[in-house]
Each structure stands twice: as structure tokens, then as C-alpha cells.
Amino acid sequence: MSLHFHRAVRSRLPRRGALALAASLAAAAAFGQESVRFVEKFNLDDLIVREAFYPPKQIKITSVRMLGASNTSQPGFPVLPFVTRKVAVPAGAKISDLIVDAGQVISKEEHPVVQWQQGYQAGRDVQPPEFPLDEDKTPLFYPAEAHAIPPDPGLAQYPVWPPAHARIRETKTIAGYDVVTIDVFPVTWRPREGVLQMASSVTVGISASGGTTPQIREPTYVDIVEIEDLRAEIVNPNDLVTLPRIPLFETLDAWYLIITDNQKWREDMTPGAALTGDMTAEFERLAAWKTSKGEKAAVVTVEDILKRRYGIFDPIGTRDTQEVIRNFLKHARAKWNTYWVLLGGDVSVIPPRKVTGNVRNGSHYIFLDTVAAPEKDCCYYDAATQFVRIHHRDNIELGTLIVSQATGRPFARVTNPSAANPGWQYVTSDSYATASAVKTAYVRLAGPSADIQSTDFYAALDCNTIPTDRYYASLVSPLYDQAGKHDWDLNDNGLYGQYNNTTSLDGVSYWPNMVLGRAPVESGAEAKAFVDKTIAYDQGSGLTSAFVRKLLLGSANWSGGPAVEEGAVDPPDVGKYYYSSATSRSRCHFKSGVNPTVYDLVAYNGAGDYWYVPYNRDADASHLGYYFCTNSSYGTRSEYYIDMWFFEFEIPIPTEYVVVRGPLAQIHPAKFFFDSFEPDSSVVEKEEIKELLAVRAPQVTSRKRYYQDWEDTPGYPAADLFELSRPAMKAELETGYNLVSLTGHGNAAGCAGVHRDDVKVLANGFRGGAVYAESCSTGRFDDDDCVAEHFVKTATGGAAAYVGNSRYSWVGSGDDLEREFWKGLSSYRNVGRLHNRMSWMTDSAPHRWAIFALNLMGDPELPLWIKPPAVLAVS
């Protein structure tokens, strides 16, 4: 079942009148007290409520999900589903509190603790994890968050959480209106009573007073499309100003703009080597096609921009080629009414902006700890010496910058760091007393107290230095064009796009003012292949009804590990366990910890010869169980003590160190591994996309699903459901698919059974539409060359467009952005506009990271076919 998003109903609230936002073209209007009301209905069958129990006290912990909904992510607070709606009000209007009313409410008792947990699915035949290695020779497995946050004691003050069924998250100014983003919660929790409450509908009223609507006397092309885009996103579309549909064509210059060149350009604004063939001529063909279909297009070269043919975009202080091109695009938007932008070249022609991201996970992040000798990936502020002690995972090199998460200040390696000489240096040991001239695992850092006290840190590594084309699309903000500053680097430290959780430190507006894509080509031949495929798909040339109806879903497991085999060393190395009959215990050293309410520990000898090891903090020689330990001494359990007002319990903190105790015959298998309770979350994500497209693209009915966890997929067996494999995915792509959606661990070579070596020899011709990959690094276009690039520039086949990440995606967050992409098909079909929908999701650090990392390889104006094509007449 899918979550049913019903059309919001706009009506009068008592004694408040209707919200009238429409304005005359001649003048702006001011408003009194006005209101909008909408009703959000929910299908409670779409709720997934799971229960898990922590031994020995059997404390029940409940997880709540809803198909098609997002999940809250506030550390220490319950993870509950919500949907997001937007309301447009006059710019500058004063917003009053929301009026919220829940419909029929169903209560479920005996849910004392609510966290993000999943339930148990019985009757499955487990298999040990066998993942291929990534290109850096590490297993394709995302570690669980080792630095878990316990329930926040502040919950005790709330009789119900969230305090209301709806809240205002943020307000953005778009197309001359203030757009209010509202989160709507179908489920609340009463922590003191342990009661979950589920509403079948939520009515939300919002009131606005004052403010003005846009004053648009002679609307431009940009005015028209921005209003149309906004109209598709809000619950009150009829309240926007109505603009004429036919603009004055002759007054406009380049609604669709292509930037390209026939030579490479370095970041320092100097030319590089000439390219083979004539890329400019090939893109002129694309511009001619766009103009013929009604989108006036033009081609400009990087050389002409840098040589000031169109104006001075490199004033004194300009840093690089990227900044010059960005300044030019501001000019094009303002003077040429440019809305669509295609970057016609790979990174050697048009370099991307690289931003520095951070998320509370991964190898780049350093957690603040309270221990003077911090664990790996942690730091400690020593007030006596005013040094930060950092224990890193051997990834801080001589030239690495270490960054304050609170302020964004970077620290480089220096000699004798101090508050007056900010920086860091290696030290010889975890005493942090003696400087070292060579690399060690220990670092001490000094600087101004505001930058180093009470804060986490992160290293600026390749994994979180994210190439992004969003820099060229987000051009309008009050924080841009600041005197003496650089856009996207407001703190002027040379690192772009920095943020602290949901606070932008560099003044980045995530909202795009243009719809932008990239053609990652470096020769005339590659440009020809790209343009040929784009025009053919756009025209519908030779595309059959059967092709348009085709959908391919691919899912490779997010989870399924890690595993250990027996070793001879105590303490054991990573990937090994040490068995001791004398102590009736096995010490396991996994690659990472996993959540015990999401995974079972399995003792495995072979098919049919395995048993489950329960989590049991009180396991002993007679009672089988396992628990986590704080470090490699295996002497102390890793857990939090929790006081939930009316009872107390311990909750485990997952680590890589696990002790298994019990009868000898049950603690000495061939291997131990963790196995997920239910269908892998990658399957859940793809099933949600399947249901979503059934509603948003109902004529795309010829579907095949290739899942690694296919036997656990709901409805198995099914005629369209198959086991994932690389040969199977290649064979399917050879037949040509209109829409492709992939999920699973990945790298520049591919994901979910799709590999670049297969893609670059595909022979499906023009029978290839759009590919979306919810995966790490398949869009790593600063490599030579990633699978995304091969899809769009392979002359014999592939696809017309590809959306993928240039660095990590984040499990549990990246799928939110993919759903936003496909949801847009109800309003428009241009792949770039669909791609821009992710810009609403700036509510968490993983979402902000993903907005940077997700890039479109393809023509941004390209409309996706979601029903069989008709004959296209062009005059």
C-alpha cells in the first residue's frame, strides 16, 4: 500500500477569509489578515509498526514507519514519519501560529520507548554476507553509527511528541513569494503513558498578515517558469499571480544556454590542450533543436566568457574559472532571461565547484569525547593545556585540513600550534605530550577558544570534498554578492559550502534559480553521441509504446554484514574472532558495530547449520548471548544507562567489539555474522518507488525488479521479480529501458549489478531514457570516467540522462531525495526540474550533503516520456 497524498483543500477558516495572493500585473498588493486551510489524509494501513525487545529486562522498543513518508532525525528524539507541504504567502507577511486539528485518532498502548528500530521477520534462510570490494579494497558495507545518542532527557517535559501534528519548518523567498514549509505528522507519542496515537487526517490552517505580491508589469520567460514551478509545489496554486502564457519572443535572448568550448580550461583561468573534434558545432545542433521546439537557445564558449566578450565577470579578487562562469550566469539570468543551462563539457572544460561536507558518520568525522585518551575517531579538549587531542583513523596526512564543526574554521599542520599560531601537529602517543616529526595516529590542535571548545571536528578529505554543479544554479540570495566576499565561501577560508548541521556557515542558498545539467564530454565525438541521444529521446524518434512503458528497478543490499571468522590472535584482528574454551567466550572484532534491534547475530557453519545468538548483556557459560564492549580489551560493556521516568534499563551502544558467551558448542562456529531481520532497506526503498510511479506514471506498466534480497521482498514470488546479478542487469539494459531506478552500495564503476565496463559497450541505441542511482559515487564525474558519464556519452547505447552522487549518499536520507524526484512527474516532466525538487530538503546534514553530491548528467530541459509518444509537429 502507498501513502495517499490527497489534493489539499483550500477553504476559509472561521472569521478569517480566504487567502488571496493573486496580484495585478501593474502593481503589488498589500494584505490584511488572510488564511489558507488544507487537509492531509493518511491511509493508516501504510503504517509499519515494529517491536523489538532488549534482554534481560525485555524492554520493548518500537519503531514507526509510513510508506512514502520521511522520518524525523533529531538526535535523541523519537524517529516518526512526516510529510511536507508548502504554502505561498505574500513576501514579508507576518505568519501567525498554525491552527492544527487531527481527525480520527487511533491509540495504541504499551509502547514505552520509541526509536528508529525495525522488527523481526521469521522463517528466512540466512546466508553469510559476501560483498565485493570497493575500488579502495574495502568491503561495500556502511557501518552503523557507533556514536549513538541516547533518548533525550528533555522528552520528560513533553506530554506528547511532537508537541503538535504540524509545525512550520522554514520559510524561503521564491519567485517573489514567501514559501512556508510545513511538516505534518500523522503519528505522535505520549512518552509518559507509552501510547502511540495515529491520525487518519490532519487539518492545518495558516494565517498571514501584510506583505506584498510580485509586481510584474512585463513578465519575462524566467518570471513565467518560476511561477509555474512554484505553482506545482504548493497547496494553494490558484493564489499565485497569473501571468500571460505567450511572452514577447523577440525581446528574449537565450532561455536555454549551452556553455562549452573546444579546448580545456584550468581552474586558474588559463587554457589547456585543444580537444579533438568540434564540440561547439555539435552543441549548436542541440541549440537549433531547442529553438525549433520553442525554447530559444544559444551557445557560448568558456573562452568568450573569460575574454570578456559579454562583460567583465572577473573583477579584481576573482579566484578561479568557476567564479567567472558563475558571475556570467548571473548576467545571463538577469539580461538574457536564461532559465535552462547545459554545461557542455567534462571537468577539464568546465570545472565544478568542490564543497566541503560533513555528516556525523564516516571516516572524515571526529566526535567530541569526555575521555582524556579518546578512542579512534574522537577528540578531547584539554582545558589545562588548551589543546584538542585527536585520535584519528590514520587518515590525517601532512596536508590535511582539520575543521571545527561549530565554526567551520580550518586548521593546517604547523610547528608549535597555539592560540596565537592556530594549527595542528602529530604527537608521539596518546599522552599527547611530545611532538612528532612523522605521521602518527595522534594529533594535538590549538586555536582560538571559540573555534575549538565544545565542538566536534572533521577532516577535509577526498570523501567529503564534493564536486557539485549546484554552485552554477543557485545564484540569487541576500548573502551573495557581498563586498570583499566570495559566494558560497562567506567566511572566506577557502572551503566552500560549509554548514553546521542545518545552519549554513558559508551563506549558501540551496534553492536553484536555474535548471542545470551537464554533458560530461571531452571530444567532438562524445558531444555528438550526447546530442544525438538527447534529440532522439526528446523527439521520440523511433520510440515505441512498449519502450515508453518500461521500468527497471535494481536493488543491492545496504546491509547484510559484517562477518568474522576464527583467528589465532587475542585480541583478534578485524574480521576475526578468538575462541577460548577456558572462559566460555569468543571475542569478535567486526569491521563495525550494528544495531542489535535491526540485526540478528548468527553463528554459521553452513546451509541449514546455523543458530541465532540473542543480545544478552548477562550472557554467561550457561546462557547464550552477546554484548558489545567499549574497546579491544573486551572488559567493559558498551551501553548507556537510561532512566525513562518510570523504569530504568541499559541500551547497548554498538561497537566493533563483541563478546559471545554460552555453552561451548554454541560459541565456536565457522563464522559469526549479523543478519537483518526483515527485507533489506534497499528493497523497501525500491518498493516505494514502484508504488510511487504506479501513481505518478501509471502508463509505465512494463516493469522488472532485480533485487539481491528478492526472496524477502513482499509478494515473493512474483512474475516481475528476479535475483540481482551483473549479467542479468546488462542483458536488461541491452533491451532498452525508459526509466531505471537503482539502489545499493556503489562506486565510480557502478552499483546494483550495473558496471561501467558493461555500459560503455551497450548497444540499445536511442532506447534509453533516465537513470536515477541512489548510491555512492556512481556520479563521481571528477574521475575518468564514472558510470554516469558512460551512460550519457556512449554512442551505441546507454541513456539520455543520469542522476547520481559524486561522493557518498547516506542510507536512510538519500531515498528521500529520490522520492522527491519521481513525485514531480505529477506536475512536470523535465528531468532538470525534477532534479531541482531536492532543494526543498535542507532539514538535515545528510540532506544538505546529498543536494551537493547529486548532479544531473543530461539535458535539463529534456521531458521524460511517461506515456506513449504522439507525433511531434514543429513549426
Judged on CB neighbours under 10 Å (0-12, 13-18, 19+), 270 is: exposed
Map out the domains of the chain as residue ranges: 33-115+151-239, 252-351, 365-464, 544-559+680-857, 563-676
User: What is d(CA 455, CA 505) in angstroms, rounded to the nearest whole number?
Assistant: 15
Mean pLDDT of 743-760: 96
Q: Quote the pLDDT of residue 869.
A: 74
Is the Cβ–Cβ distance between 207 and 34 less than 8 Å?
Answer: yes
Is residue 64's pLDDT more than 90? no
788-823 pLDDT, tens per residue?
999 999 999 999 999 999 999 988 889 999 999 999
Q: Which CATH architecture has domain 544-559+680-857?
A: 3-Layer(aba) Sandwich (3.40)
* Comparison of pLDDT for 240 and 118, the residue scoring more: 240
Q: Is the dihedral of CA 625, 631, 633, 636 positive or negative?
A: negative
Mean pLDDT of 361-373: 91
Q: Quote the pLDDT of residue 541.
A: 80
Q: Quote the pLDDT of residue 143.
A: 36
Mean pLDDT of 738-745: 97
Is residue 422's pLDDT more than 90? yes
Residue with cell 612523522: 438
Mean pLDDT of 150-177: 87
114-145 as b/e: b if 16+ CB within 10 A: bbbbbeeeeebebebbebeebeeeebbbbbbb
The string of DSSP letters for 617-676 reads: TT--SSS-EEEEESSTT--SB-EEEEE-SS-EEEEE---SEEEEES-GGGS--SEEEEEE
- 287's enclosing H/E stretch is helix 279-292
* Comparison of pLDDT for 857 and 654, the residue scoring more: 857
Is the Cβ–Cβ distance between 428 and 375 less than 8 Å?
Answer: no
Banded model confidence at residue 30, pLDDT cuts 50, 70, 90: very low
Judged on CB neighbours under 10 Å (0-12, 13-18, 19+), 485 is: middle
User: What is d(CA 234, CA 85) in angstroms, rounded to the nearest whole number?
Assistant: 7
297-329 pLDDT, tens per residue?
999 999 999 999 999 999 999 999 999 999 999
685-695 pLDDT, tens per residue?
999 999 999 99
Residue with cell 519521481: 822
User: What is d(CA 218, CA 243) in angstroms, rounded to the nearest whole number?
Assistant: 9
833-868 pLDDT, tens per residue?
999 999 999 888 899 999 999 999 999 999 999 998
36-62 pLDDT, tens per residue?
999 999 998 888 887 776 655 666 778
User: What is d(CA 305, CA 298) in angstroms, rounded to the nearest whole number?
Assistant: 14
Is the Cβ–Cβ distance between 20 and 207 less than 8 Å?
Answer: no
Closest CA to 806 of 446, 317, 352, 308: 352
Residue 534 backbone dihedrals phi, psi, to 5 degrees: -65, -50
The string of DSSP letters for 299-339 reads: EEEHHHHHTTSS-----TT--SHHHHHHHHHHHHHHHS---
User: What is d(CA 523, CA 525) in angstroms, rounded to the nearest whole number?
Assistant: 5
CATH of domain 33-115+151-239: 2.60.40.3800
73-99 pLDDT, tens per residue?
777 788 899 999 999 999 999 998 899
| Degrees, nearest 5: CA angle 8-10-12 | 145
Is the Cβ–Cβ distance between 637 and 627 less than 8 Å?
Answer: yes
Is residue 774's pLDDT more than 80? yes
Cα 561 to Cα 131, 264, 330, 490, 813: the distances in Å are 9, 44, 48, 42, 20
Residue 318 C-alpha cell reads as 576573482
Is residue 679's pLDDT more than 50? yes
Is residue 622's pLDDT more than 60? yes
Banded model confidence at residue 191, pLDDT cuts 50, 70, 90: confident
Strands 340-344, 515-519: pairing kind: parallel
Mean pLDDT of 603-622: 90
Amino acid (1-letter code) at residue 169: R
Cα 296 to Cα 197, 249, 256, 861: the distances in Å are 54, 8, 6, 12
Is the Cβ–Cβ distance between 586 and 666 less than 8 Å?
Answer: no
Sheet (strand 746-747) strand order:
746-747, 750-751, 754-755
Mean predicted lDDT score pLDDT of the chain? 88
Banded model confidence at residue 5, pLDDT cuts 50, 70, 90: very low
Q: Is the dihedral of CA 513, 515, 519, 520 positive or negative?
A: positive
Cα 875 to Cα 251, 257, 283, 289: the distances in Å are 20, 21, 21, 11
Mean pLDDT of 94-120: 76
299 pairs with which residues across the strands?
258
Mean pLDDT of 535-539: 97
User: What is d(CA 293, CA 781) in angstroms, rounded to the nearest whole number?
Assistant: 30
The string of DSSP letters for 671-685 reads: EEEEEESSS-HHHHH
Q: Quote the pLDDT of residue 67.
A: 83
Is residue 528's pLDDT more than 50? yes
* Plot region of 829 (φ>0 → left; ψ -120 to 50 → alpha; else → beta): alpha
Residue with cell 566578450: 309
Share of the chain above pLDDT 70, in %: 88
Is residue 22's pLDDT more than 60? no
User: What is d(CA 378, CA 128) in angstroms, rounded to the nearest whole number?
Assistant: 31
Q: Quote the pLDDT of residue 55.
A: 55
440-470 pLDDT, tens per residue?
999 999 999 999 999 999 999 999 999 999 9
Secondary structure letter of residue 6 according to DSSP? P
Is residue 139's pLDDT more than 50? no
Is residue 338's pLDDT more than 60? yes
Q: Quote the pLDDT of residue 130.
A: 45
**Three-state DSSP class for residue 465:** strand
Q: Quote the pLDDT of residue 653.
A: 84
Residue 628 C-alpha cell reads as 558489545
435 pairs with which residues across the strands?
427
Q: Quote the pLDDT of residue 9.
A: 31
Considering just the CA atoms, what is the radius of gyration of the chain in Å? 28
